[in-house]
Amino acid sequence: MLVNMKEMLIKASKEGKAIPQFNINNLEWTKYILEACEEKKNPVILGVSEGAIKHIGGYITTVKMIEGLVEDLKITIPVVIHLDHGSSYESCVKAIDAGFTSVMVDLTKQPIETNIEVTKKAVEYAHKRNVSVEGEIGHIGLTTGEAIYTEVDDAVKYVEATGIDALAPAVGSLHGIYLTEPKISFERIRDIKNKTGVPLVLHGGSGIPEDTLHRAIYEGIAKLNINTALQVAWAKAVRIFLNENTDIYDPRKVIGAGEKAIKDLVNYYIDFLNRGRD
Ligand code: 13P
């Protein structure tokens, strides 16, 4: 069942749990993630970056591919098709018109006024069509750079002015492979959560130690984004398979060599996230 993410995040937030966003890259990844989540009967947010959308073929292909898999595989869990880091109003509109059930607006490289203006416009377009919106304030960069921390007042101003359904603040996490252990500010998560009241999203979830993630969820994180960890696990399994099977050339076998690695990790995250704030 395709849904937006508003209700599931509110519910997760109340229960002190987090819903996973697993980013997809192609048909096989989507299939593996859907199958693993269905097996666990766990709702899932399929994150699709603009780069992944281009790779898959476009906004429409992405939606039709997911819709087809949901139908053919008889997926019964709630599934969100979410634009990850939408870089413009136009990109969000394209995604919504194609059938995405959720979008993220990321204008964090622009001045805060522009970020607010574009996010607000995207929210107006999205909400009329029952599509949820995640916004980012303060910039969550790459692990090759420095982590920054969103000012609480900026977060409040942004949420109040835009009407977003979920907020991705910069709280010390970064995208990619961490070179040093991330310094997540639990205090900042708690303050932003208390003052904005919206479910919070933690980007750059791959490689954050379990106890840190656990505490971050306790303080208000209701959605955890995972991309790099799946890519690394898949690539490692495929590399081993190719080295051990130098005569194999069937792409289904090559890509499929990473299926177990992806499913194992998806299962791990679902089990971990369902532990909640115990
Ligand atoms: P990682 O690639 O670090 O897991 O981050 C994923 C993410 O935040 C997608 O928006």
Active-site annotation holder among 72, 84, 165, 250: 84
Task: Confirm if 137 and 155 have CB atoms less than 8 A apart.
Answer: yes
Query: Among 227, 231, 266, which residue has the most ligand 1 atoms within 8 Å of its CB, making it the best to mutate?
Result: 227
Which 3 state secondary structure label does DSSP give 109?
coil
In a domain, 249, yes or no: yes
Q: pLDDT by residue (tens digit) across 116-172? A: 999 999 999 999 999 999 999 999 989 998 898 999 999 999 999 999 999 999 999
pLDDT reported for residue 247: 98
In a domain, 190, yes or no: yes
Q: How many domains does the chain have?
A: 1
Count of helix runs (H) and strand runs (E) in the chain: 12, 8
Which 3 state secondary structure label does DSSP give 240?
helix
In a domain, 278, yes or no: no
**Residue 211 a catalytic site member:** no
Q: pLDDT by residue (tens digit) across 203-217? A: 999 999 999 999 999
- pTM value is 0.97
In a domain, 126, yes or no: yes
Residue 14 pLDDT class (50, 70, 90 cuts): very high
In a domain, 111, yes or no: yes
Average pLDDT over residues 54-77: 98
Nearest CA to ligand 1 atom 9: 225
- Of the chain, the percentage scoring pLDDT greater than 90 comes to 95
Q: pLDDT by residue (tens digit) across 25-49? A: 999 999 999 999 999 999 999 999 9
Query: Is 23 near ligand 1, meaning CB less than 6 Å away?
Result: yes
Task: Confirm if 273 and 40 have CB atoms less than 8 A apart.
Answer: no
Which 3 state secondary structure label does DSSP give 88?
coil
Q: In which domain, by residue range, is 228 found?
A: 6-273
Average pLDDT over residues 180-196: 96
pLDDT reported for residue 274: 86
CB atoms within 10 A of CB 181: 10
pLDDT reported for residue 6: 98
